[in-house]
């Protein structure tokens, strides 16, 4: 088969203006879900259990501080990587002029490079190297994960039609939880070295399959969903003025979505940061470890069910903002419950509220991001910058939680502040105009 013959179907489909998500939506959505689960496994297993256990072995006298430093370095690497991943994906030769790009489009070639490197990093971690080698390896893996996840997120904007943005957003919400639970389960059920090996193999297979078989990614790309939006970001971040002229009213919707997303993630992380201590010291349960597991399972199940329903519903109603507003207010209700209760039964109710809130939010989060992207040539850059809302929220949640306990009167004041932050997110949602 000649090169031209090999790529004829993709070329024809591209000129017809249809993407793989339009031609084979069911197959593509399943393949995309599996690929995202694979990326989640790479960070979930190590960050939940494996690295913590290794710290006990390599730094037995200071494993808490050693783990905190390692995770901080990894988080900083992820944030820094996100600043460059999008620009590379948009502008590099591999994305635009390679044989891989002609077969798979701009984003998947970088995923093809990153996932085997991440898997090799996992294999290296399985040998439990000295502490600073662990830190370096984990930072490298975080960099590779950034190339995987940010390009997968951009694929949703590239190929999924706007009328299915809610569906793909709910896929991300459900598979995130599945990847988190799956990575934790593998780390719990297998010896440490085998857990790393299994995660490395599963991640490689699950991610790579997106490029092969029915529903595989191809070069066909949607046009921007909101071409008339204004770009303040062009001034701040730079833009190609000869190929793309955007007015000066700024990535207004984009930055509003960014802020709302940051507030939601920061509130969620802050509310759960001291959950073990909250149950032990404030509620006074006898077995806080077990109750953390119970609450996590309740939260995960409710999140997945709510996300699956809300994403499809948002597509049918052609509405996104109402789901974000309801999610913010429901999360506010959950944190208010945690403020006033003194029995673990009510904490379970709060976990149900939190799961419902997070499910609704997950179901429209990526949809609203995609709808706020005005730039055609800087799409991956903007998606990558948007991921900083989650990354920075995760990094500062511990500081917010500690400050709340110290300066706001303990757990009641901390959770009241979380409720107020959720109301702020709801107000921000009202001002977003890129989504209905």
Q: What's the gap between Cα 409 and its chain centre?
A: 32
pLDDT of residue 17: 59
How do the pLDDT tens digits run along the chain, 436 residues long?
Answer: 444 444 434 444 444 558 888 888 899 999 999 999 999 999 888 887 788 888 888 888 887 788 878 888 888 888 888 888 888 888 888 888 888 888 898 889 999 999 999 999 999 999 988 999 999 999 999 999 999 998 998 888 888 887 888 888 888 888 988 888 888 888 888 888 999 999 999 999 999 999 999 999 988 887 644 433 333 333 334 444 444 555 445 468 888 888 998 999 888 888 876 777 778 778 887 777 778 778 888 888 999 899 888 888 888 888 888 999 999 999 999 999 988 887 888 889 988 999 999 899 988 887 888 788 777 777 778 778 888 887 788 777 777 887 887 888 888 888 899 999 999 999 998 888 877 7
Domain 233-430 is found in CATH 1.20.1250.20 = yes
Question: Could you tell me the fold of the domain covering 17-211?
Answer: Growth Hormone; Chain: A; (1.20.1250)
Q: Quick check: do 17-211 and 233-430 share a fold?
A: yes
How many alpha carbons lie under 13 Å from residue 374 in its C-beta half-sphere?
23
pTM exceeding 0.75: yes
Predicted pLDDT at 347: 87
Spans of all domains in the chain:
17-211, 233-430
pLDDT of residue 11: 42
- Determine whether 183 is exposed, middle or buried from the number of CB atoms within 10 Å of its CB (0-12, 13-18, 19+): buried
Cα(205)–Cα(353) distance, rounded to whole angstroms?
Answer: 35
């Amino acid at each position: 088969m000649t090169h031209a013959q090999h790529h004829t179907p993709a070329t024809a489909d591209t000129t017809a203006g249809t993407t793989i998500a339009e031609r084979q939506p069911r197959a593509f959505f399943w393949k995309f879900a599996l690929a995202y689960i694979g990326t989640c496994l790479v960070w979930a297993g190590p960050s939940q259990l494996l690295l913590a256990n290794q710290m006990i072995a390599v730094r037995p006298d200071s494993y808490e501080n050693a783990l905190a430093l390692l995770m901080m370095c990894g988080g900083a690497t992820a944030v820094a990587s996100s600043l460059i991943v999008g620009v590379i994906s948009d502008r590099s030769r591999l994305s635009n002029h390679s044989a891989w790009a002609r077969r798979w489009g701009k984003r998947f070639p970088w995923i093809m490079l990153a996932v085997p490197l991440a898997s090799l990093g996992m294999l290296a971690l399985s040998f439990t190297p000295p502490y600073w080698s662990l830190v370096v390896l984990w930072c490298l893996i975080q960099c590779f994960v950034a190339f995987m996840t940010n390009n997968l997120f951009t694929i949703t904007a590239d190929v999924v039609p706007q009328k299915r943005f809610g569906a793909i957003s709910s896929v991300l919400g459900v598979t995130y939880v599945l990847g988190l639970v799956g990575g934790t389960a593998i780390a719990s059920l297998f010896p440490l070295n085998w857990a790393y090996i299994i995660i490395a193999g599963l991640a490689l297979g699950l991610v790579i399959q997106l490029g092969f078989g029915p529903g595989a990614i191809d070069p066909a790309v949607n046009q921007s969903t909101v071409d008339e939006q204004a770009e303040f970001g062009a001034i701040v971040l730079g833009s190609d003025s000869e190929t793309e002229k955007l007015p000066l009213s700024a990535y207004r919707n984009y930055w509003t979505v960014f802020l709302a997303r940051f507030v939601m993630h920061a509130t969620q992380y802050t509310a759960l940061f001291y959950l073990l201590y909250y149950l032990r010291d404030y509620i006074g349960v006898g077995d806080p470890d077990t109750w953390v597991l119970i609450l996590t399972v309740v939260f995960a199940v409710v999140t997945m069910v709510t996300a699956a329903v809300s994403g499809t519903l948002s597509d049918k109603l052609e509405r996104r903002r109402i789901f974000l507003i309801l999610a913010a207010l429901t999360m506010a209700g959950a944190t208010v419950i945690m403020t006033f209760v003194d029995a673990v039964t009510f904490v379970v109710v709060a976990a149900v509220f939190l799961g419902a809130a997070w499910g609704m939010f997950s179901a429209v989060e990526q949809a609203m991001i995609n709808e706020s992207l005005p730039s055609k040539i800087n799409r991956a850059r903007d998606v990558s910058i948007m991921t900083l809302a989650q990354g920075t929220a995760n990094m500062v949640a511990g500081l917010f939680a500690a400050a709340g306990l110290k300066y706001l009167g303990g757990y009641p004041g901390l959770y009241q502040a979380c409720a107020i932050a959720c109301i702020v997110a709801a107000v921000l949602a009202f001002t977003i105009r890129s989504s209905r």
